[in-house]
Copies of this chain bind each other. A is one copy, B any other.
Amino acid sequence: MRVGVIGGGQLARMMVPAAVELGIDIAVLGEGPDAAARIAVTDIGAATDAEAVLGFAREADVVTFDHEHVPQAVLAALVEAGVAVRPGPGALAHAQDKLVLRRRMAELGVPQPVWAEVADEVELDAFLVTTGGRAVVKTPRGGYDGKGVRVVGSGAEASDWLADGPLLAEELVDFRRELAQQVARRPSGEIVAWPLVETVQGGGVCREVIAPAPRSAGRIADIACDIAMTVAEALDVTGVLAVELFETVDQRILVNELAMRPHNSGHWTIDGSTTSQFEQHLRAVLDLPLGATGCHAPWSVMVNVLGGPADGDLDSRVPALLAEDPTVKLHLYGKTPRPGRKIGHVTVTGDDLDDLVFRARAAAARLDGTT
């Protein structure tokens, strides 16, 4: 069995251990020889280059993705050529275009923020009247980690983006916290869910994940799981699906965004769950029976390593981190430190949540250069 992954970032990199363990050959179409997933890079080319992608895909039994930036035209060419593309283009469209997502969620009756498609300043001003004078505008395509998102108080404040086409406008959700629900679904229909998790964002970027989400057992977890399963089935998602959610101050659960690939909110599963999201994604796209999603410990805490030390010398920081806490699981992505860049994460698991949060933050801070 051979899986081809388009894109050579850390998500492709973290699929490698799972592939090696399951005896699956993995090949990666990377952006360059220094891609995070370089150990598995067999071809170098852009995900937008139909010829490169097609040539790469022909060698694989199934093609899947490190990111959602493969254009629909390239995806269509793959399907046309008989390649098994998972998730398929129809599903991926919802992770590529936030307007497509909002329309579909509305059709499905899935709870989401109040939203509108706005084509010009007049439409945006009209929307602002309904949302108390302030709203979030998002470019439908290409945004991630806080990019392509802006809070505005008037149509004029989005004029530059509106020049490029319609935007998604959303109410400013008064949320208590952000959650994420991950499920995996295989072509034959089997679907499994991990526990709902809490994600802590900062500057538009995921900073920490606590699994399971504290104080969520029962109603909140049930709603989140229901939403994710509904979406996975309705959109015919294959592979791992992460549904980013808002928990509002009045305890509603609203869909924020979707990711149809392994996702930062699921990195804890590598060390905290019987089946990691990376193993599960490979099993799902290969239509193999899915693995158990139980936890090794009552709590898992994952903290991202962002940026790295100011002097760029990551290796020299590792010994102190490992010496300080022999139970911390360190994951580095083979990327050059740069301000704000996700270069790794740490996970700790155990019984005492406060202690775990403290320890995971301390470990990550060793690499951020903040200690």
Find residues 305-338 in chain A having any chain B CB closer than 8 Å to their own CB.
314-315, 318-319, 322-323, 326-327, 329-334
Q: Does A292 contact B (CB under 8 A)?
A: yes
Give CA–CA (A11, B21) in the complex, Å: 12
Q: Are B39 and A26 in contact (CB under 8 A)?
A: yes
Q: Are B327 and A23 in contact (CB under 8 A)?
A: no
Q: Are A292 and B326 in contact (CB under 8 A)?
A: yes
How many identical subunits does the complex contain?
Answer: 2
Q: Are B20 and A319 in contact (CB under 8 A)?
A: no
Q: Does A261 contact B (CB under 8 A)?
A: no
Whether A334 contacts B289 in the complex (CB less than 8 A), given A16-B20, A296-B296, comes out as no
Find residues 271-299 in chain A having any chain B CB closer than 8 Å to their own CB.
274-275, 283, 288-292, 294, 296-297
Q: What total of chain A residues lie within 8 Å of the partner, measured CB to CB?
A: 41
Q: Does A40 contact B (CB under 8 A)?
A: yes
Give CA–CA (A297, B318) in the complex, Å: 28
Give CA–CA (A85, B303) in the complex, Å: 35
Closest to A19 in B: B39
Q: Are A291 and B322 in contact (CB under 8 A)?
A: yes
Closest to A37 in B: B20
Q: Does A344 contact B (CB under 8 A)?
A: yes
Closest to A283 in B: B322
Give CA–CA (A177, B154) in the complex, Å: 78
Whether A288 contacts B318 in the complex (CB less than 8 A), given A16-B39, A17-B16, comes out as yes
Q: Are A294 and B327 in contact (CB under 8 A)?
A: yes
Q: Are B1 and A315 in contact (CB under 8 A)?
A: yes
Q: Which residues does chain B contribute within 8 Å of A334, judged by CB atoms?
A: 23, 25
Q: Does A106 contact B (CB under 8 A)?
A: no
Whether A13 contacts B17 in the complex (CB less than 8 A), given A25-B334, A40-B39, A291-B327, comes out as no
Q: Are A23 and B322 in contact (CB under 8 A)?
A: no
Q: Does A22 contact B (CB under 8 A)?
A: yes
Give CA–CA (A291, B14) in the complex, Å: 20
Give CA–CA (A318, B288) in the complex, Å: 8
Whether A292 contacts B39 in the complex (CB less than 8 A), given A17-B20, A20-B13, A25-B334, comes out as no
Find residues 1-27 in chain A having any chain B CB closer than 8 Å to their own CB.
1, 13-14, 16-18, 20-23, 25-26
Q: Does A270 contact B (CB under 8 A)?
A: yes
Give per-residue flags for A329-352: 1 if the beta carbon is below 8 A from chain B beta carbons, else 0: 111111000000000100000000
Give CA–CA (A314, B1) in the complex, Å: 10
Q: Are A326 and B17 in contact (CB under 8 A)?
A: no
Q: Which residues does chain B contribute within 8 Å of A17, judged by CB atoms?
A: 16-18, 20-21
Find residues 22-43 in chain A having any chain B CB closer than 8 Å to their own CB.
22-23, 25-26, 39-40
A sample of 25 cross-chain residue pairs with beta-carbon separation below 8 angstroms, ordered by A number, consists of A13-B20, A16-B39, A17-B17, A17-B20, A17-B21, A20-B39, A21-B329, A21-B330, A21-B332, A22-B330, A22-B331, A23-B332, A23-B334, A25-B39, A25-B334, A26-B39, A274-B327, A274-B329, A275-B326, A289-B319, A289-B322, A289-B326, A290-B322, A290-B326, A291-B326
The 7 A-B residue pairs with the shortest CB-CB distance, nearest first, are A23-B332, A17-B17, A289-B323, A289-B322, A292-B326, A292-B327, A296-B296
